[in-house]
Structure 1
Amino acid sequence: MTDAASTETTKELLHRYYRRNRDQLVAKLDGLGEYDIRRPLTGTGTNLLGLVKHVASVQLGYFGETFGRPADVDVPWFADDAELNADMWATPDESRELILGFWRLSADHADETIGVLDLDSPGIVPWWPAERDHVTLGLVMTHMLVEMARHAGHADIVRELIDGSAGNKDGNLPDQSADEWSAYRDRLEAAAAESERRYGAR
């Protein structure tokens, strides 16, 4: 362990991992056109810009209202009369710039809250059941780190489905050519078929 890492507090460590996952999620929009960042790639409509919009929205709530620090911004897709899943996709009236501006505001607000509070600072999550709505900053940071990582993983897969781009800027995948990846995938496909033959469907 380096000297820098050994002096890092638990809050700083959680915040560093949180920011890293946050950066990796939004980076999945890079280099794509309007259609590709918006088009649904799963049966439940998962799409890149929608993931960014959703995470920015919940981030604003958990690090805002929960600790009595609401941001001065309107979030119409969370209104009582908003349609189902309105936070999970962007309408044609919601530009990339609008969503990314909201993302930056949300990230800045979260970072400010994390900066001024201690891990044991208390808060209340208004949308959680009463028996567990009393929380601490540490609990919320852990909850949101899991949320961020989960959706960053969704974004990884969606981006790969769009243009084959995979992994993150840290180079977390083996350095293989397209032909090598194709051969690897074929090997997995053959192994799956052989396993089906041996063990049958369940």
Structure 2
Amino acid sequence: MANIQSIMASEQQVAALMSVIQRAVDEISAVEERLEQYDHALVAVRQSLKEMGREKSKMEVTQRNHHELLQTLDSMLPDLSTRDRQVLSDPDLTTTVGLREACQAAQSLLRLSSTSVDGNLQQMAAVAEQKKLFEKLKARFSQAVYRQMNNFFVHMGNDGAPPVDSLQLPSHSSQHLKLQPYSELMHWTKAVDNRQVVR
């Protein structure tokens, strides 16, 4: 009888132990399942982080390229100042100050319009627009210079004409002094004309 009770108590203990072990196994399975879910989530997060890193790198490259492009365009397409544009559009070639401003603006225009532009960038609208503007300013300023010089020569011819009964020509040095202020404009006009012929 004592043996039977002992066996029965043992079986109950074994059953209780088995129940505890089963609960532990179930808990471990649940924990493993959860860990697997976390692992999948971490894999997705890692992939997302890698993708974000690649996107960030692409954005940095794009931003750097845009910055370099703007710097390149600025260096290749430096713009004339508003004052230079005004002077070239409507120059005053009759005063010393106006003549000096006109010469400075004309030299700036010549320098900027002769800046070489990479062949691939020639197709850009900004480059074409800038080139068109420079050509327009050159043409307008050239017309003003030609008109002024024509008027100047006519005026100089009339003022410097010797009397009808005189056989003496006006002094060459006095004529030269009158023309001297326009020498820089004449060089500019010649440079522009040569470039247009070369093109």
- Given the two structures, how large is their TM-score scaled by the length of structure 2? 0.27
- Given the two structures, how large is their TM-score scaled by the length of structure 1? 0.27
> Using CA pairs below 8 Å that are at least 6 residues apart, which structure has the higher relative contact order?
1
Higher share in helix: 2
Larger-gyration structure (1/2): 2
